[in-house]
Structure 1
Amino acid sequence: MDLIIDVGNSFAKVSVLEYDTVVSYEKYQEINTSIIFEIKNKFDIKRTIISSVRNNEAEISAIFKKFNISFYWLNHQMKFPFKINYTTPQTLGLDRLAAVAGAMAKFPNNNLLVVDMGTCVTFDFVDENSVYHGGSIAPGFEMRFKALHHFTQKLPQVKYENQSVRLIGDSTENSILSGVYNGFKHEILGIISAYEQQYNDVKIVLTGGDYKLFDLEVKNRIFADDFLVLRGLQQILILNEKN
């Protein structure tokens, strides 16, 4: 079994995969000794890979060394299942690369646009020849509500709680909900449309905590996978084990 750990800005996602089946999946605020101890005793872990967007490599590495567990720490020097055509590869978010690897495992030899809706929303494009070209980064859904409150003196902090959102807001709170929700949704759809106009037969793959808030999935056109980054990390792990 493979232990896959993805430490994001908001949560640390810990998954155990057997081949391509997700056997266990949990989210934590932080990785600690008790979490790894429990996994070690519960599952027959053969390989481990860790990815983190936080500055916590020394802390997490110490936990694994305590249990004498070997692991890969995802970095830019590792092998990826695609060529990277990016002018500043050392600044490229490794979680973005992992999501692309996961999408390629599901849809090989395709033009792919990966849309990850988390703390930020990222768009990443890889072509049918397995060349990664980059994409875009924008504020995430929740960040937009926080920004309106933080950078103004009178706008309230508004939280989306799965309520119905109308096009025309009849109060300041509802106007913020309309602006953020509808603006975010149509931004996503507009960028997807731009890629579809520029590239032939591009498949759209959604992931991230916020994609379920929007009705974006269309059969045979837009696909979704909650575990896309974790699957991609497993593919990178397998590739580097072979080499």
Structure 2
Amino acid sequence: MNIVVDSGNTFFKVGYFESEKLIRYTTRLSFEEVIEMIRVEIPENMLYSSVRHTVDEFKEALNLPVKIYNLSADTLLPITKNYDTPETLGADRIAASAGANFLFPDEDLVVIDMGTCITYDLIDAQAVFQGGLISPGMKMRFNAMHSFTKRLPLVEPEINPEFIGKSTRKAMQSGVMNGILAEMEGIIERYRHKSPSLRVVLCGGDAAFFENSLKPPIFAVPELVLIGLNRILTYNVSLR
């Protein structure tokens, strides 16, 4: 069994795999909860990816005789990075790209990851990560309007809001939700000018708000980052 551990700025997520198949996953975990979970079911192989705790902190807390791979700028990957600053490339971006390439090999892909920020990354049919775009995420846009103005409220998202808002709240919902949708459609269209056969792969916590509004074909893979982390893990294990 493989275990992959993914940490963002707030919570951890743990995925359990048998070979390449995702068996189960748990999210919104604390560092301490992750340690307790892994001690209950010790894996054969493990990959750790975190922006909060170093791999040395993780190894010390876990204190188990298990080989732990750490995802960093130096980690060997099943895809190639064509990126000017590979040391600054976010782990989630490269993991999602590796996951998409594993699920849809030999295809031009754009991976849209809808989290704190929205990233649009191109992976070509030769498994080369070509870079992409980074844009403010949904909650960031709502928070920005509230934080940087004196009178605008903090508004919650709504699926398919009316395009012409008849109140300030409705207008803000439309501005964010329909604005993101228009942004996504425009970026996808520009990518498709370069590659008409382009496949669009959607992931991230906010993807559910938009996946049914985008023009098909769109492939939603909610746990794409975990799948990509496991693909990177199995690739490194195969090189031992």
Same fold (TM over 0.5): yes
- The offset of 1:50, in angstroms, is 0.9
CA distances 1:6-51 after superposition (whole Å, capped 9, x unpaired): 112343111111123222211124221x43333332x351100011
1:92-241 maps to which residues of 2 (within 5 A)? 92-160=89-157, 162=158, 165-214=161-210, 215-216=212-213, 221-241=217-237
Q: CA deviation at 1:156?
A: 1.1
Q: Is the 8 Å Cα contact of residues 20 and 231 (structure 2) preserved in structure 1?
A: no
Query: In 2, distance between residues paired with 1:212 and 1:181?
Result: 12
2:82 paired with 1:85 = yes
Cα distance change on mapping 1:126 and 1:163 into 2, 3 Å: closer
Counterpart-to-counterpart distance in 2, 1:134 and 1:15: 26
Where structure 2 has 5 or more consecutive residues not aligned to the other structure, the ranges are none
Please give the alpha-carbon distance, in whole angstroms, between the structure 2 residues aligned to 1:137 and 1:156.
26
CA contact (8 A) 1:103 1:114 kept: yes
For the aligned residue pairs, the C-alpha RMSD in angstroms reads 1.7
**Residue in 1 that maps onto 2:14:** 14
Tell me if 1:61 matches 2:59: yes
* Paired position in structure 2 for 1:27: 27
Q: How many residues align?
A: 238
How has the CA–CA distance of structure 1 residues 57 and 216 changed in structure 2, closer, same or farther, with 3 Å as cutoff? farther
Change (3 A) 1:81 1:186: same
CA offsets 1:148-199 (integer angstroms, 9 cap, x no match): 1111121111112x45510111111111111001001111111111101121
Q: How many angstroms does 1:227 deviate by? A: 1.3
* 8 Å Cα contact 2:14/2:34 also seen in 1: no
Which blocks of at least 5 consecutive residues in structure 1 are unaligned?
A: none
Q: Which of 50, 53, 63 is 1:52 aligned to?
A: 50
- State TM-score, norm by structure 1: 0.91
- Report which stretch shifted further, 52-61 or 170-179: 52-61
- Partner letter of residue 180 of structure 1? V
Once the two structures are TM-superposed, the CA of residue 117 in structure 1 deviates from its matched residue by: 0.3
Between the aligned partners of 1:235 and 1:122, the Cα distance in structure 2 is: 20
Q: What whole-Å deviation, never above 9, does each CA across 1:50-102 have from its counterpart, x for those lacking one?
A: 111335444323222x2333311101111111221111111111110110000
Q: TM-score, normalised by structure 2?
A: 0.92
Indicate conservation of the 8 Å contact 2:44/2:66, yes or no: no
- Pairs within 5 Å for 1:70-81: 70-81=67-78
Q: Could you say what secondary structure the match of 2:188 adopts? A: helix
Whether contact under 8 Å (2:108, 2:125) holds in the other structure is yes
Percent identical pairs in the alignment equals 39
